[in-house]
Amino acid sequence: MHCPTLILRTLVAASLACGLAHAQTAPDAAAPTLPSTDPAKIPELRAGSGYLIGYLPRKDLPNSLQLLPAPSVNGSAAAAADLAFHQQLQGQRSGLRWELAAQDAVLKFPAVASTFSCALGVSISQEATPHLNMLLRRSLADAGLSTYAAKDKYQAQRPFVKLAQTTCSPADEAALTRDGSYPSGHAAVGWAWGLILTELAPERSQALLERAYAFGQSRAVCAVHWKSDIDAGQLMGAATVAKLHGNADFLAQLGAARAEIAQARAQGSQPNRDCAAEANALALDRPLQ
């Protein structure tokens, strides 16, 4: 029997424990050659897409079909819970939370690089933190692609399609209609980023994980995912981070990103985002938890 919540918690704990062990172990060999921070030197997943390849070959990604249960079916208690949660969010389909959800829908760099800037407390960009920027950019592909074995198998219908609603990203609706809802790729990416950043800045872990949760929640606000899609996506994000810790390039870039964050703090770097507006938007999530 599958238990997504239990598995997710186990994977989160394993990811954080592995990261802390790595951070506390001093290398006794020469520093590894660092992976490139130049996007022009990293192949794209598809020419012209702007999405760079991840650190992991496709065959090494965690298998979502083996890790996840089947999605909820009409008439089930799980489907009823999904619908009830969706209905709770109807008051957020305008205003600050809706605007933030629309921002969270965009996964293209350079815009998305600053998503966790407020939670981290420093600027994140290709110019300010090139290794951190590349770490996020490449792990996006790993976490997102980890969801597609299940997505392609189940082809679950998205809320806005089933309920004839609009979304916060109308230009994407045609493509989303053809793309399976379960599990959420955005939630996988956001949770993976939250775990990676928590490893780099454990003193900011609460803010970073809250932002990672909200990033997934934005997909429910936008009516493009059910809550069960998001929960399953977060599990895949955690599974991906666990796998990434066996990749030498990821670990080398992780170390370089840690040094960049320390240097940015020492230089008084500030978030490259409107943190007051973000905080006001995220405060709207709290009554729903």
Would you name the residues annotated as active-site residues?
186, 219, 225, 229
**What angle do the packed helices 248-266 and 130-145 form, to 10 degrees?**
140
**What angle do the packed helices 95-104 and 275-282 form, to 10 degrees?**
110
Q: Please choose, from the candidates 196, 157, 224, 193, the residue with its C-alpha nearest in 3D space to the C-alpha of residue 20.
A: 196
What are the tokens at 181? 């809802």
In angstroms, rounded to a whole number, what is the distance separating the alpha carbons of residues 265 and 89? 37
Q: How far apart are the first and last CA of the chain?
A: 26
In angstroms, rounded to a whole number, what is the distance separating the alpha carbons of residues 214 and 97? 10
Q: Burial-class residue 199 by CB neighbours within 10 Å (0-12, 13-18, 19+).
A: buried
The residues with which 44 forms a beta bridge, in sequence order, are 52
The residues with which 52 forms a beta bridge, in sequence order, are 44
H or E segment to which residue 192 belongs: helix 185-200
* DSSP per residue, 39-92: GGGS-BSSTTS-PBP-SS-GGGS--HHHHSPPPP-TTSHHHHHHHHHHHHGGGG
